[in-house]
Structure 1
C-alpha cells in the first residue's frame, strides 16, 4: 500500500498508516493480548479485505489508521511473566475473576488512549474518529467508549467483552433482559440514602450508573450533572463475534451487546457461524464496511458506497 508507515521500537510506540488522500477520518484500533500495534495493524490492513477484494485502506483512502501498543505488564495468568496487555487478566476462563487486578491497567491505558483520541480530534472532527479493537483490545476500547465525554464517529469491536460486566449487570438490572427502570419490574426496597433527583436522572439516562461506576475506577470527581458532562451515547456501535470462539466465549460478546443496547447505544451485532477467535474474512470485514457507511453518517457521508460486495 502506498502509505507512510510510522513504526516504533519502544513499548509506547504507535504504528500508523497515513491516508492516501486528503485526511478526513481517523481509526484508532487496539490489538489483543500479547500482540502489538504493528503486528495487528499490518495483518488487519493486509488480510482484512471485502468480498470484492478491497482492503480497508482502499475503501477509506482518507483514513489515518492508528495502532497503539499496550505496555508490558506482569500477568497474573502466566506466573507473573510480562506481556503486552492493556490491563491484567487473572483468567481467560473467567474474565471477571479477581477484577481488582484489572483496575491499574485500565486506568493507565485509558489515559494513553484518551490522549490519542484527543490528538486526532485536533486533526479531524470528533464525529470522524472511529475507535475499536480486537479481543482484549475491544474490551479496553469499550471501557474508553463508556468514559468518553463526547460521541465518536463509530465504534468497531471484534471478539471482545465488557470489563466488569457482572457489576454493570447488577447496576442496570439487564442480566435477565429487563432494566431496573422497567415499569413492570418487581419493586425493590427503597434506599434511604438515595436522591430522588439522581434516581430520576438515572431513569432518564440508563447509561448514568455505568459511567459513574467506571468514573469511580478512574478516581475522578464524579459526574453530578450528566447533561453538562456529555456522553458517547450517540456513537453507533458494531460488535462481531465468532460462534466457535474458543478463547473469548460468545456469551461474553452477547452480554456486552445486551448491556450497550439496554443503556441506549445503537448496536449492530453479528455472530459468525464456524468462526473461532478472530475476525471472519471477508464476511466481517464486509459487515464493518457497510456499518461504517450506513450507520456512521455524517462521518462517512462523503465516501461512495462500495457496490457488489454483498455475499
Structure 2
C-alpha cells in the first residue's frame, strides 16, 4: 500500500498587531506597550503539532524572536524548521534595497545565533515580492538563503503575481522560489494555500480543493497560517477599516478545530523536507 503523501505545513510567526492591514494603526515604536499573545499562541500550536505527529516550518518575525528567544529554541528543539519572516513585518515593496537587506539580515543572524543552525528559508511579509522588486532575490542569495516562499500567483488587492510560476522553480539569481499553492480554474488561479480563505470557507470545501490539487498536480502542497488565527480572544482593533477587520476576525473561533482536522487528515512535514529533500 502506498504511503500517504507528505504536505508542508508553515506558520508565519507574528502577533495580531504586526499584520500589514494594521500598519496605519500600530507603529513599531508602539509595540512594546501592546499586549503580546504570540508566545502563548505559538506554544499551543507546538503542542497541537506534537499530538498529531506533524512537523512545520516556522517563518519567524525577527521582532518576535528577539522578544521570545526561548520560544525559538523550543521550536527548534521539537524538530521543526526555523526560517525567517524578516524583522519588522514591512512589505518588501515598501523598502529600499538597503533597508530590506538590513531588515532580513537582522532577523536571519539573530535566529542563527539563537539556535546555532543555518537559516535557509525566507518568506516576505504579505507575499510582497513581485515584478517591481526582483532585486530582493539577489540580496537573499547574498545573505545565504537557499529558498524563498514569498509569492502568491493570484489576483488580490493587497498582493499577488498571477502571471508568475505556480510551482517551485529555480530563480536566475540562484535561489529556489516556492509559491503558495493555487488551483487553475477558467484560466485563473484560485488560492488554496491557507490563511483567510481557509478560515472563511467550511472545512469540507477547503479539503475538497486540497484533494483536487493533490489529484491533479504532481507538485507538493503547502499550507500557511498564523498563531493569531487560533486566538479568538485577542484584542479587537476598533479603528481599522471594515474590510480589514472582516478579513482578520472572520471565524477565528473555528480555526483551531479546522487545523486539528487538517492535521488528522494529512501527513505534514517542513518545507525543507518536502520541497528540497524529498
Same fold (TM over 0.5): no
Taking structure 1 as the reference length, the TM-score comes to 0.32
Where is the helix percentage greater, Structure 1 or Structure 2?
A: 2
Taking structure 2 as the reference length, the TM-score comes to 0.35
